Amino acid sequence: MADDSWFETQYNNRLAVPEHAAIHARQVELSRRVRLRRRCYLDVRYGEGEREALDVFPASGSSRAVVSFIHGGYWRSRDKAELSFVADRLCDAGFTCVLPGYALCPQVTIEHIVRQMLKAHAWLYRNVQLYGAQPQRIVVCGHSAGAHLAAMMAACEWREYAPDLPRDLVKAVLAISGIYDLMPLRRTSMNADLRLDENAARVASPVSYTPRREVPVVTAVGALESNEFRRQSELLPECWPHCASEAIVVPGANHFTVLDALAEPDGVLFRMLERLAGAFDG
């Protein structure tokens, strides 16, 4: 059996990508410029709890679909404002982009964060028309911890969560560089903040659930990511064969630069979102 150091090398992306701080700084600066240049509504409250706010970037022209992008950071760092750059070209392509925030571990648990995202997307369905978008066209996208949260949105039984919500509130999911079985994280240093025991890891793992409906779920991972992240990317196609239609490997990308493939129109992940939204265009 592998020791804890093996799990650390597989799941600690900052160790695997020494230049991660420079990549992060570039993304933060790009995001700052986007917020200054684009029409946006920042820190719109979806609840009264800690960090229960979201940023809305309306589409340029008519909105063809809503893309909710959930940021990563191992559920314990980063902020929605640092990822505004992903909205820029997507808005130009006709997407209304929404970036929800959430509280961070260790102040809260991952299960608490999942519940915050449920609340955020219920709010989105009820209110996004105020920003010129159609609530019947919501696609959820997430990176790293955000990919895990996006998958949990696919697994949600929305009518059971609230009777005014449709079963198909989430029309499709693009999950980028995510972890869908949280059990291995118990063997890493990150668990000092995540505080996962066996039961908490099971309850918060998307693979513990089976969506009742066939929501399209596409997973993606960078070609330079660890074997475990590539394995995790294959889990949803294996566990949700009625949902997971494709698993993408992004050439030349590590855990952090993989978002470049979402932020630019010639990126494979940008094109995938356009394909997922294509169902609304007919």
* H or E element, residue 183: none
Report yes or no on 119 lying in a domain.
yes
What pLDDT was estimated at residue 1? 61
What pLDDT was estimated at residue 278? 78
Q: How far apart are CA 40 and CA 97, in angstroms?
A: 10
- Residues 6 or more apart in contact with residue 199 via CB below 8 angstroms: none
Report yes or no on 24 lying in a domain.
yes
What pLDDT was estimated at residue 179? 98
pLDDT in tens, 135-167: 999 999 999 999 999 999 999 999 999 999 999
Report yes or no on 282 lying in a domain.
no
Q: How far apart are CA 138 and CA 158, in angstroms?
A: 13
Report yes or no on 245 lying in a domain.
yes
- Whether 238 has a pLDDT exceeding 60, the answer reads yes
Quote the Cα angle for 49-178-218, to 5°: 110
pLDDT in tens, 15-32: 999 999 999 999 999 999
Mean pLDDT of the chain: 96
Q: What is the DSSP code (8-state) at residue 257?
A: G
Task: Please give the span between the terminal C-alpha atoms of the chain, in angstroms, as a whole number.
Answer: 51
Report yes or no on 145 lying in a domain.
yes
The count of domains in the chain is 1
Half-sphere exposure of 177 (CA within 13 A, CB side): 29
- CATH number of 239's domain: 3.40.50.1820
Strands in 244-250's sheet, in edge-to-edge order, are: 41-45, 53-57, 95-100, 65-70, 138-143, 172-176, 217-222, 244-250
Half-sphere exposure of 79 (CA within 13 A, CB side): 13
What pLDDT was estimated at residue 282? 52
Structural domain of 243: 4-277
CA 241 to chain centroid, in Å, comes to 20
Report yes or no on 34 lying in a domain.
yes
Beta bridge partners of 100: 54
